[in-house]
Amino acid sequence: MRSYLARKILMLPLILLVASFLIFWAVHLLPGDPARIMAGMQADQQVVNDVRSRLGLDQPFSTQYEIFLLHALHGDLGVSIRSHKSVAQEIGERFPHTLALTTVSYIFALVMGLTGGVLAAVYRGRWLDHLVMMGAIAGGSIANFWLALMAMNLFAVELGWVPLIGADSWKSYILPAVTLGLLPGAVVARMCRASMLDIIHQDYIRTARAKGLSTFNVYVKHALRNALIPIVTIVGMNFSGLLGGAVITETVFNWPGIGRLMVDAVRDRDYATIQGITLLTVAIVVTINLAVDLLIAMIDPRVRFE
């Protein structure tokens, strides 16, 4: 276990190095000229050239990447051409809002998915099973931006139960969290049902029932724990999907997170901000995948890392 963890940790810098190059290369393929955007569409060419020189965009690609990498290693992700603030500062101001929204969304997704999946498996073939699966299929099929707009119109505009946009109070989390967590919750529910159905017909589950254990102990303490392994894997993989979905959700709800910041940065060809946010996302996803591997070993003692 320790050698596996050590190898994974040592691989993190290499993964981030490759990711940083791919991100830097992909960002420079974007159409548009950030120097022209920063100088103004009506500025003359000399002003644009001065801005390009100040940003270092007139240097060869390899030189630009080397400068970016050296600065990034010291925690300097550059300066935003939009706000003229440090990218690290902007991310530091916005990331807590995205982290809070993602956490609430994930809690909602897990509670909904695990509860629905267990109930659907226990009452297989009955009306509750069909109801849960219909809801899971619908939740996995609805586009989150459409659901966000419909929910805003009904619950914020028509009924006035929750705020329309922003992050001013705990009520502001309800609509964006449900919108963002519906898809992963639907995936978890379907995976949980399938895993539970494979487990509840095992001999040790029959033995637990024969011993007179309560329904809760049989299905939750015995069956669900062994069914969690594929679910934990899916949950870890869906985390990157949540970060991607946050871009749309934060834009629709005017949420002050890094998703909305990314949209603004792409629109303005703000290379430094795009690179900083994407690199942070890669680091988070890689760390989550490592945590998932370790969590699987903790859940199932049969799993050993050679």
State yes or no: pLDDT of 44 exceeds 80. no
* pLDDT tens-digit series, residues 112-150: 888 888 888 888 888 888 898 898 888 878 887 888 888
Query: pTM here?
Result: 0.78
* pLDDT tens-digit series, residues 202-246: 777 777 777 777 766 777 777 777 777 777 777 777 776 677 667
Which token pair is 52? 């390009």
Query: What CATH number has the domain bearing residue 295?
Result: 1.10.3720.10
Name the residue with tokens 């159409």: 31
78-98 exposure pattern, b = at least 16 Cβ within 10 A, e = fewer: bbbbbbeebbbebbeebbebb
Q: Enumerate residues 6+ apart whose C-beta is below 8 A from 120.
A: 128, 129, 132, 133, 189, 192, 193
44 domain-assigned: no
* pLDDT tens-digit series, residues 75-113: 888 888 777 788 888 888 888 888 888 888 888 888 888
60 domain-assigned: no
State yes or no: pLDDT of 192 exceeds 80. yes
Cα–Cα nearest to 265, from 285, 247, 252, 283: 247
Cα–Cα nearest to 162, from 184, 177, 183, 143: 177
69 domain-assigned: no
Give the number of residues written for the chain.
Answer: 306
Parent domain of 210: 87-299
155 domain-assigned: yes
Q: Report the domain count for the chain.
A: 1
49 domain-assigned: no
94 domain-assigned: yes
